Amino acid sequence: MRAILVSKRFHPGHYSHLLAYSKLLSSEGFQIRFRVHQNYSNLPQSRVRDYIATFSESLSLERGDIYFIIFPSFAALIELLFVRLLSSSLVIYTLHEPFTSFRSYRDSGFSWFKSFRVLVISIVSHAICSMAHKVILPSEKAYSCYLNAQRNNPSSLFKLRCAKINLVFEDESTGMPSLLSRDCISYIGTIAEDHAFDQFLSLINACISGNHLPCCKFLIATRSSIPGKYHHLIQSCVSSGRLIVYSGVPLSNHKINTLFRQSLVVWNAYARSMQSGVLPKAYMFATPVLASVHTSEYFQDGIHGALITNYCSLEEFKQAIHRIQSNFFAISTNCRNYYLAHFDYTALQRPFMKFIFS
């Protein structure tokens, strides 16, 4: 049996999903190959580099083989057309974020251009969904949204074609660091309007300016280029010695993991969220999160971190950090246990295999 994992758009955070699905399927006896963006092969110590599939290999897949599109792209859609025409493989697609409405993205702060871009990507995703045999939704929000959009389908057929299965990861931790080795309040991931980056920056500037939370440093780690309107403020914070910034270039998976390990808490207080790869990655390293009311079903206040309101005050922010510090061992342990039970590929292997072959 063969499985080809497809991700033709590069995002360093997606590398972990590729590795996890390869482990899951290889443990079920599949021979794994990848059809991925070149940058995945260029990552330091890349584990996909020596297993790249050719286009002809995709077309040669037979019944019982799997062609698995993990992330959407126009290139993946075009190749899928040929795969459906010329092979008899099972096509699976993970739909991370079903389109809601144009207004919902505008209300979250997206520009007209970015909202239109999301719409175009959603059209590509819809086309991939229509050709896939099985569609995976990684959260209850995503599943419900997709269900609402598919109300014309018979419910029994929908349940056979679609299922909610959490984001899949391979455990990359190597021992849990103590509180003493964690000194960063961190923003890790894409800078997007709905990730409330401006709020995070405003809060850390207030902390640095007023010398609040003096035992903590702050960290921004993103492949995104930081918008020019923030440069002066960020430079001022960096000059204080309390803000560390990695931006504009992809970080290696090893470096990203190191940053999660040294974080006291990771920002997940998004203005809009359907699913988040940052949250389970934080839990993998027993790292609590700061969450908002928009956080998914995978968070409980006081159990996995602290809940803050939209546009929270400096005082509320400080209290949230103190709550986490004062009960860090219990919260950290809860996060780690939740990762093992809900996101690790070993926990998801049985429901995944049952769904795709049902």
Residue 68 has pLDDT above 90, yes or no: yes
| Mean pLDDT across 173-201 | 86
Asked which of 76-85, 188-197, 326-335 is least confident by mean pLDDT, the reply is: 188-197
Instruction: Examine the pLDDT at 203 and tell me if it is beyond 60.
Output: yes
- In this prediction, residue 275 carries a pLDDT of 75
Residue 160 has pLDDT above 70, yes or no: no
* pLDDT score at 156: 47
pLDDT number for residue 118: 76
Strand order in the sheet with 263-268: 243-246, 217-221, 184-188, 263-268, 289-291, 305-307
Burial of residue 349, with CB atoms counted within 10 A of its CB: 0-12 exposed, 13-18 middle, 19 or more buried: middle
- The DSSP output letter for 266 is E
What confidence category does residue 152 fall into, taking pLDDT thresholds of 50, 70 and 90?
low
Model confidence band, residue 249 (pLDDT cutoffs 50, 70, 90): confident
Task: List, for residues 96-142, the tens digit of each pLDDT value.
Answer: 887 777 677 676 667 777 777 878 888 898 899 999 999 999 988 88
Domains and CATH numbers, the chain: 2-169+343-356 (3.40.50.2000), 179-341 (3.40.50.2000)
Q: What is the pLDDT of residues 54-65, one digit of tens each?
A: 999 999 999 999
